[in-house]
C-alpha cells in the first residue's frame, strides 16, 4: 500500500473532534479497516500548511470542508494547481465531498449550491454497471452537503448518481482520479451530529427524516474498500 497524503481542507470543532476524530483520522480508520498496512501523511491546508509537489507523492486524498470551492480563500487556487499537477502526473487521487467538488472545478467542471438544498442523512446512489471501481447496483452512504458538481469536467464519467445528486461519483479518464460526494468515512453517530447541526437552518422535517434514515444500514465499508483499492493502484505511466 502506498503512503497516502491526506490534504485536510476542513477542521472539525474541538468537542466533536474529541469524540469522533478529525477528518484525517476518520479516513485513516476507514482505509486501515480495508488494508491494515496503510500509512499516512497529513497536509493541514486549513491550518495554513503549504502543499508539497504532488509528483513526489504516492497517493492523495482530499477531505471535506465547510468551505465552498468558490469561496475567496487564499488556499483554493494553490489547491487547484496542485490537483492539476497531480492529474498530469497520474498520481492516484481521491476527493470526498469538498474534495470531489474541488477536483471537478480545478479540471474544468462547474460547482455551486444546488437548487435541491441540503442533502443530509443516508442517501442511496445508483452505481453505473461495470465502472471498474465500485461494485453493486446501489450503495447507501451518509452525506452532508448543499453544493454539488453541476457539470462534470470533460473526461470525467459519472459512476454514482441519484435524483438528488446526479453526479455523486466521478471517475476521470486518466484512470488515476476518483471522487465522490457522500462521506464513507463518517460513522453513523457523526452523520447524526451533522444532521443536528443543520437544525434551525433547514426544515425540521428534513432533519427528522435524515436522522431516521441513519437507522438503516450504511455501505461505508464497501465504499471504503473500493477507495483503498483505488489508492493502492500503481501509478500509470
At 143-183, the pLDDT tens digits run: 999 999 999 999 999 999 999 999 999 999 999 999 999 99
Per-residue pLDDT at 237 exceeds 70: no
Tell me the pLDDT tens digit for each residue of 75-128: 999 999 999 999 999 999 999 999 999 999 999 999 999 888 899 999 999 999
Examine the pLDDT at 236 and tell me if it is beyond 90.
no
* Residue 62 CA from chain centroid, whole number: 7
Architecture of domain 3-111+147-185+220-232: 3-Layer(aba) Sandwich (3.40)
**Residue 67 CA: distances (Å) to CA of 70, 72, 107, 139:** 8, 10, 19, 26
List the domain boundaries for the chain. 3-111+147-185+220-232
Cell numbers found for residue 116: 435541491
DSSP codes of every residue in 105-147: HHTT-EEEE-TT--EEEEEEEEEPTT-SSS-SSEEEEEEEESE
Please list the active-site residues.
Answer: 97, 183, 185
Amino acid at each position: 500500500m502506498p503512503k497516502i497524503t491526506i490534504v485536510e481542507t476542513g477542521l472539525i470543532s474541538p468537542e466533536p473532534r474529541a469524540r469522533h476524530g478529525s477528518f484525517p483520522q476518520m479516513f485513516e480508520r476507514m482505509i486501515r479497516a480495508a488494508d491494515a498496512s496503510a500509512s499516512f501523511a497529513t497536509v493541514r491546508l486549513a491550518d495554513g500548511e503549504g502543499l508539497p509537489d504532488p509528483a513526489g507523492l504516492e497517493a492523495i486524498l482530499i477531505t471535506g470542508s465547510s468551505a465552498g470551492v468558490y469561496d475567496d480563500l487564499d488556499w483554493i487556487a494553490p489547491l487547484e494547481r496542485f490537483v492539476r499537477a497531480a492529474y498530469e502526473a497520474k498520481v492516484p487521487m481521491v476527493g470526498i465531498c469538498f474534495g470531489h467538488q474541488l477536483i471537478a472545478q480545478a479540471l474544468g467542471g462547474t460547482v455551486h449550491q444546488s437548487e435541491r438544498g441540503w442533502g443530509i442523512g443516508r442517501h442511496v446512489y445508483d452505481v453505473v454497471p461495470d465502472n471498474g471501481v465500485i461494485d453493486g447496483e446501489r450503495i447507501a452512504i451518509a452525506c452532508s452537503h448543499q453544493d454539488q458538481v453541476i457539470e462534470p469536467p470533460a473526461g470525467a464519467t459519472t459512476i454514482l448518481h441519484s435524483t438528488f445528486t446526479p453526479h455523486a461519483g466521478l471517475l476521470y479518464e486518466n484512470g488515476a482520479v476518483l471522487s465522490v460526494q457522500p462521506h464513507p468515512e463518517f460513522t453513523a453517530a457523526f452523520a447524526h451530529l451533522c444532521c443536528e447541526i443543520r437544525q434551525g437552518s433547514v426544515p425540521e422535517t428534513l432533519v427528522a427524516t435524515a436522522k431516521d434514515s441513519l437507522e438503516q444500514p450504511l455501505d461505508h465499508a464497501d465504499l471504503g474498500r473500493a477507495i483503498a483499492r483505488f489508492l493502492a493502484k500503481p501509478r500509470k505511466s
